[in-house]
Structure formats: C-alpha cells, structure tokens
Amino acid sequence: MEEDASDSLHGSGHDSHPAFPSQATSEKLMQKSPKARQHLWIILGPPAILLFDLVVPCIIYYSWYGVHRSQWERECEAYGASLDICPLERPEFDKHILGLAIISFGFGELYILIARVCRLLFHPKDCAPLLSNSRWELDATSWVYGVSMICALIPFVVSSTKEIPVLYLYSPAFLIGFLGVLMLITLVPFPIPIGIDSERRGLPLRPFIYYAAEDIIAVDCLQDREFRVRFNIRYEASIAFRNLFVHLTVWWLFGVCVYIGCLPAIIWTLEFHIAFGLSLGVLFSYLIIWGLVSCLWVRYAVRRQAKHERSTRGNTNV
C-alpha cells in the first residue's frame, strides 16, 4: 500500500512529475494512533535529552566545582586571607571535567539519532521518504542531525587542544547555528539539484521546518509513508499551508539569532561557574518557548484554514 501511494504521488522514478490534486484537502494528516509500547523509544527521547543535556552535565561540573570551591575556601582561611583577596587561584574549571560534561551533552541527541536511523534501516517500506530507493538513504533530518552533532564537536576539540574553557560553552551554539544557516538557505526557493525526502529534484526548495516536520512525524511519531503522501498533497494544494512553514522557519531562525546573541553575553560577562549553568538554561528556555509557540501557532493556523475551506468550497487557491 505504501509503494502504491508513493507511485501515485511521484510516479515510478525520480524524474516523473508528481500527480498532485488541483485543490486543497481537509483530510486529517495524522491518522494513525500508535500504542504507547510502539512509542516507547520516542517517549524516552525527551527525558533522555533533558537528562544527558542538562541534568548530567550540571551534576558533573557543579559536583566538581562544589568540592574544589570548599577546598579553596579552607586553604584561603589557612592562608589567613579573606576570600575577596585570597591570592590562591580560584577554581573555575577543569578540562577533564568539562570534557565529560560536554560528552554527556551529546548522548541525548545521539540516542534519538540512533533510534530513528534504526527505524529507517529496519522499516524502510513503512517510513522512508517517498523517493527513497535504498534504506541507506535515510531521510534529510537524519543527515542534518548527524552533521549538526559533528559541528558541535568543533569547539570541544579546539578547546581541549588549546585549553580555552569558554569554547566548551559554545558547543550547543555551533549545533544551533548550523541549523540556522540551513533555515536561512531554505527560505530561498531555488530549484533543488537533488531529491530531498519526498520532493524530486528540480522543484523549488521548501522551508526547513517543512522537511523537519515531514520526517519527524513520519518516522518518530510512527505516522509512516501514508502521512508523507498526505503532507505533500496538502503542501502543494494549499497556499496557506505553504505560508505556514515559511513563517515557522522564520520564527525558528529568529530564535536562533536570539539564542546565539544571548550566549556570548552570558559567557563573557559572568563568571564561568555561573555561565555554565545559565548557558544551558538559556538553550532549553529557547527550545521550550519556541516549541510551545510553534504548537499553538500550528493549531490556530490549521483550525483557521479548515474554517476557511468550509466557507469557500470550490476555491482551488485556498
């Protein structure tokens, strides 16, 4: 059934023209209701990210900092100097401890990446992109996710070699910044030279959030290839739907700029032990706020579009 749906949408090859309907459809996009046991690896994803990206790094660093700070205070008292003028070096960081904290930061993302890659490899007929000819093609989100994690390693490697501790705190910014560059590029709808997900080469590039939504909902939310078919049909048929993803991509790009703008202000104006925790707090605040606003935005836009379609039946330019 999935292959039939794919063929009806894009034809039998990469160069065939997609046979999209001429008018918008109000058909529900997410029609499957997977059970909790099927969602287990997805359910564990967000807790894994919170645990390894926020809780564990803070435990590792602040446990070390608390012990060495207390030891430093005792040594200053034995030295006979107040803490404000103590000549002994104040403990702020240790490259090995920071290395462990940053390595932990990647475990949450690595877990999600491995889980979704396994599903794409073992169940390609269920959830792979419509134009996929090999299970090893995966999907766009998996490749972007993997490259972004490599980008996050750059400041980690440099800071370990040159012993520049503040660079450790820039690792998340390199990951987010790479995604921001892709968001900016996808706002220019030039003809793509290769197929991306379910979109054949030669068609205009679609907004970043569109590709992310198609892949995440189809693979991570177990909506599979039938969802990809309906999602592509809705995108081609509805101007409002297309505009929604442009606006969402701009919204997330704005968030990237806000986060990357705030991070240096935190790193370079506060003491390291404060900047460490606050930089992670700003990252998760950005993700949570932008995610919640996006969910409310999508819900409002979909309801408004459905209402508009009901009131303008027969209009092919909804």
Q: What is the pLDDT of residues 60-77, one digit of tens each?
A: 999 998 998 888 888 888
Q: How many helices and strands, by DSSP H and E, does the chain display?
A: 12, 0
CA–CA dist 113, 102 (Å, integer): 17
CA–CA dist 245, 256 (Å, integer): 16
Residue 224 pLDDT exceeds 90: no
9: Cβ–Cβ under 8 A, 6 or more apart, which residues? 18, 19, 20, 130, 198, 229, 232, 233
pLDDT-derived band at 275, boundaries 50, 70, 90? very high
pLDDT-derived band at 134, boundaries 50, 70, 90? confident
Contact 199, 130 (CB under 8 A): no
CA–CA dist 251, 208 (Å, integer): 11
Amino acid at 244: L
Integer CA distances (angstroms), 191 to 78, 188, 238, 241, 294, in order: 71, 9, 20, 20, 27
Phi-psi region of 187 (alpha: psi -120 to 50; beta: other; left: phi over 0): alpha
Residue 212 pLDDT exceeds 80: yes
What's the pLDDT at 306? 77
Judged by average pLDDT, the poorest of 115-124, 184-193, 278-287 is 115-124
pLDDT-derived band at 102, boundaries 50, 70, 90? confident
What's the pLDDT at 29? 82
Q: What is the pLDDT of residues 225-237, one digit of tens each?
A: 999 999 999 999 8
Judged by average pLDDT, the poorest of 212-216, 236-240, 286-290 is 236-240
* Averaged pLDDT for residues 192-199: 90
CA–CA dist 64, 71 (Å, integer): 11
What's the pLDDT at 14? 40
pLDDT-derived band at 26, boundaries 50, 70, 90? low
What's the pLDDT at 207? 96
> Any idea where the domains of the chain sit in the sequence?
122-311
Contact 148, 175 (CB under 8 A): yes
Q: Which two tokens stand for residue 123?
A: 């169940």
Judged by average pLDDT, the poorest of 128-132, 161-165, 172-176, 200-204 is 161-165
Mean pLDDT score of the chain? 84
Residue 293 pLDDT exceeds 90: yes
